[in-house]
Structures are given as structure tokens and as C-alpha cells.
Amino acid sequence: MANSLLSQLRQMTTVVADTGDIEAIRRFQPHDATTNPSLILQAAQQEGRRERLAHIARESRDLDEALDRVAVDIGSEISTLVPGYVSTEVSARLSFDRKATMARAHSLIERYQQAGVSAERILIKVASTWEGIQAASQLEREGIQTNLTLLFGFTQARACADAGVTLISPFVGRILDWYKAQNPKADFSGAKDPGVISVKKIHEHFKANAYPTIVMGASFRNTEEIQALAGCDRLTISPKLLGELERQSGFLARQLHTEGNAASAEKATPLDQATFRWQINEDAMACEKLAAGIRQFMADQRRLETLLGELRQKG
């Protein structure tokens, strides 16, 4: 639809596909694509990939190598369909291990380069734990670009900006889930959505302070949340919601702007580890959702490990 909400959104925000589904990416033609362990598991279970997965499982030394090869195999295919970034996530098991996260990131980048995909096209996704942020800071200094995910609070966003990461993925829908569970009768529609409020605060802070880090809203539950963040640097959206935006018409107003208000800038000294951990602990939502997100990604990774292990044994 020429005047759909999706076409209007593309005029003010870089649209990113939150999926490993190749056909969905072909259909919606996003600028970038993001994946995570849950999405890689979904893509891996597609019947057309089973033979390829079996080959990778049999040719890999162990499951860790097989997992990385599967992620890079899917990511490399996606890279031929989008002009921008492809995000590939480091194992959730390494969320609290800085050195192991860095080693895994180097391994993923090397595999992409062997597949003919340059490092400039890849964002290494890392959980926004203290260790993950410190790993990302060093990786950025080495020229490896990062996407800090499972980001639920302003403290995490501040630390990521201090670290100079390329992009952050503040979650919207999972924040809403938490608040709805605490107060089921409250009205969280539109601009009152706590996830929307969180991303707006982060976006405005980054622009006011001229941080180069890209803000990419993620984890949407409905198109209303997306419309409330029109104008955000990037939004990563599931195929289901992309389809709904494509079918909807009407005027889409810009809600976020690229120009920051320098007068409202809240410059602060970089957070140290103790302050970061204390502030996360004080934010019950961010603390609980970060832990739950890591567990969920790890649960899906274990399912993928089981699938690859079964395919390997059959070989």
C-alpha cells in the first residue's frame, strides 16, 4: 500500500526485520535484520534447512562450533537480502563472561569473513550485562561493531553510550509485559506504554548529549507501540507486525526527533561497576527482565543444541 503506515514509517525511521525467516525478509525488504537464539531456532526448524543443518552438525567439532556455524550460515544468507547490518548474537551462556564473549565475537566475525561477509556488515549482539558492555567496549575499539540487547533500563543505556557501542536494542514489549503483570487494570495504551516511555527517554538523552550510538527499539507487542516511536533511529519489527503496518493506512506522525535539546543534556560521569549493579538492582523491572531474557534465550539455545546433537548422531 503506497500510503500505508509502513511506507510512512520508512520515511522517518530505518526499518529492521526481527526475524531469521528468509521469505519474510524478501517480502518486506528491510534495511537491516536482527536475529537472536529464539529466532535462529525458529529458522533452523524450517523443513528446507534440515539437510543443511545436518551437514553443519556432522562437520563441526562440537556443538559450540555447530551453533556458530548455523548462525553465520543463516546470517550470511540474510546479508544478501539486506543492504545494511545483520545482527548475530553471542551465546547467552556467556552473558557474564567478558573474555569468552570477546573470543566468541572474534570467532563469529572470522566465520563471516570466510563466508565473504565483511565485518562492516555485522553487529555482534551481546546481552547488556556489565560484563557484556565491557566486552563490547573492547570489541568496538578493535573495530568489531556491537548491538547491545536485552536492554530494559536507563542505567544499561547510559553504560552502553559510555562504552561507545554501535547500537542498542531497548526492549518495549517485555517492559509492558512486566508492568501489566504488576497492574493488570492499568491503561498502558499509546504514549502511556512504559516500554515506549523508556525508549523515548533513552532516545532523547542520547540526542541531547550527541551520543553516536544508534537507538533501535525492539520487542514490540502491537503496532500502537511502533507508531508511538515513529522517528526513532531504527525499529526492529517482527514479520507479523510488519504485515499489519503494511495493511494499515492513515497519517503517521513523527514522535521522536533526531535533533537533541542540548540545554536538557544530563551529562554524568561514566558508571563504575558497583554503581551499575546497584542501580540495576534497584530497578526491579530491569533486573527481573534481564535475568528472564537471558534464561529464555538460553532455553531456546539448548533446544537448538538438542536438535543439532540429534542430527549429528544420525550422520
Complete DSSP assignment for the chain:
-TT-HHHHHHTTSEEEEE---HHHHHHH--SEEE--HHHHHHHHTSGGGHHHHHHHHHHSSSHHHHHHHHHHHHHHHHHTT-SS-EEEEPPGGGTT-HHHHHHHHHHHHHHHHHTT--GGGEEEEEE-SHHHHHHHHHHHHTT--EEEEEE-SHHHHHHHHHHT-SEEEEBSHHHHHHHHHH-TTS---GGG-HHHHHHHHHHHHHHHTT--PEEEEB--SSHHHHHHTTTSSEEEE-HHHHHHHHH--S-------SS--GGG----PPPPHHHHHHHHHH-HHHHHHHHHHHHHHHHHHHHHHHHHHHHHHH-
Catalytic option among 99, 125, 185, 314: 125
- Per the annotation, the verdict on 125 as an active-site residue is yes
Active site residues: 125
